[in-house]
């Protein structure tokens, strides 16, 4: 009986594994257009795509790199806040240098936040 209980616990632990996303560090350049001339620096930029989990139920899909890159381009910050507050200054970046991605968030048991963050130096 004890073996069956341990087998069930081990099986549940394997089924509820963590999700891992690929990441990149120091990508030299990501361009949004075909213009090859040097741009004007706007300084560090950050974009993120975040999802929330409430009582074990994930609100939406997993964070995606394309949404994080789009938010970095328009200066919106996080996709969740962008949907509600329409952040962004209306101007978009031409390219981003030295791009790195990382994961951020928290898990408070009842509520969790999982983010994919893009950082780099933006140019217009």
**pLDDT tens, residue by residue, 3-26:** 555 444 444 444 444 555 556 677
Indicate the burial class of 46 (C-beta count within 10 angstroms; 0-12, 13-18, 19 or more): middle
**pLDDT score of 41:** 86
Instruction: Kindly report which listed range (34-43, 47-56, 62-71, 111-120) carries the lowest average pLDDT score.
Output: 34-43
**Does residue 53 surpass a pLDDT of 80?**
yes
DSSP 17: P
**Does residue 111 surpass a pLDDT of 90?**
yes
Cα 78 from Cα 68, distance rounded (Å): 7
Look at the pTM and tell me if it is higher than 0.75: no
- Residue 79: pLDDT band by 50, 70, 90 thresholds? very low
Please provide the average confidence, as pLDDT, over all residues in the chain: 75
- Using the Cα atoms of residue 15, residue 104, residue 117 and residue 75 in order, give the sign of their dihedral: positive
Q: Under DSSP, is residue 68 helix (H, G, I), strand (E, B) or coil?
A: helix
Task: Say which residues have a Cβ less than 8 Å from residue 58's Cβ, sequence separation at least 6.
Answer: 51, 52
Between 35 and 12, the more confident residue is 35
Query: Per this entry, what is the length of the chain?
Result: 124
The residue ranges of DSSP E strands in the chain, in sequence order, are: 27-31, 41-54, 57-59, 77-78, 95-107, 111-123
């Amino acid at each position: 009986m004890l073996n069956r209980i341990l087998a069930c616990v081990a099986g549940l632990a394997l089924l509820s594994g963590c999700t891992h996303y690929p990441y990149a560090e120091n990508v030299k350049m990501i361009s949004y257009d075909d213009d090859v001339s040097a741009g004007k620096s706007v300084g560090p930029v950050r974009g993120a795509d975040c999802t929330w989990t409430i009582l074990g139920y994930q609100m939406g899909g997993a964070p995606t790199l394309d949404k994080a890159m789009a938010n970095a381009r328009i200066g919106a910050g996080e996709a969740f806040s962008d949907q509600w507050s329409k952040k962004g200054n209306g101007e978009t970046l031409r390219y981003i240098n030295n791009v790195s991605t990382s994961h951020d968030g928290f898990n408070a048991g009842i509520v969790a936040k999982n983010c994919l963050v893009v950082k780099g130096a933006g140019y217009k």
